[in-house]
Amino acid sequence: MDIELLRETFQRAKNENGGLRSLGLSFYARLFAKYPAVRPLFTTPTEQQHKKLMASVGAIVAAVENPEALVPYLHAMGIRHLAYKTDNAHYPAVGENLVAVLGEHLSKEGAWTEDMKRTWQSALEFVSNVMIEAANDPAKYKTELAKAGYKADGFSKHGAEPWTMVAPAAVVATG
């Protein structure tokens, strides 16, 4: 995975074609059109839900070189999504959908290359695998989550919005 390309394309997504709002709304419009069975899983209005998605993607991109923060965040997210009735089969649909809308979004004002597509596919496959890993065995990650500032259900101990990454104490102290 090309981390610099991942960051560069996410920065472009923020700045091009209506920014993250446009990207997030396009994501849900396409997701619900292509995968209508997932629509009932979303109780939050799309106008609010897209902000959560884009904040999560932004947190992941920002922490891609900080596994001490990223992996517990993804484990917590995977466990949290159990409460939302997410099934392991939903993850590939989300990844496919995000790559497709990101490609459409970025190609309107610039290039979308095969390297960009492969980088995002690789990143999203990693994200899915880590989330699924925790969703399949939440008890296994209870200690890790506690050390990272999350409750056993994947929500923050500090009342932060769930899509906001909790910084581990060791990273905060040295960072």
Whether 44 maps to a domain, the answer reads: yes
Whether 144 maps to a domain, the answer reads: no
What is the C-alpha to C-alpha distance for residues 170 and 123, in angstroms, rounded to an integer? 25
The count of structural domains within the chain is 1
Whether 110 maps to a domain, the answer reads: yes
Whether 94 maps to a domain, the answer reads: yes
Whether 35 maps to a domain, the answer reads: yes
Residue 167: the pLDDT is: 59
Whether 122 maps to a domain, the answer reads: yes
CATH number of the domain that residue 115 is part of: 1.10.490.10
Range of the domain at 88: 3-70+84-137
Whether 167 maps to a domain, the answer reads: no
Whether 38 maps to a domain, the answer reads: yes
Radius of gyration of the chain, Cα coordinates, nearest whole angstrom:
16
Residue 166: the pLDDT is: 63
Q: Do residues 141 and 74 lie in contact, with contact meaning Cβ atoms separated by under 8 Å? A: no
Residue 160: the pLDDT is: 66
The pTM of this model reads 0.88
| Helix/strand/coil for 65 | coil
| Helix/strand/coil for 156 | strand
Residue 107: the pLDDT is: 92
Q: What is the pLDDT of residues 91-119, one digit of tens each?
A: 999 999 999 999 999 998 889 999 999 99
pLDDT in tens, the chain (175 residues): 899 999 999 999 999 999 999 999 999 999 999 999 999 999 999 999 999 999 999 999 999 999 999 999 999 999 999 988 999 999 999 999 999 999 999 998 889 999 999 999 999 999 999 999 999 999 999 999 999 999 999 988 877 676 767 654 433 333 3
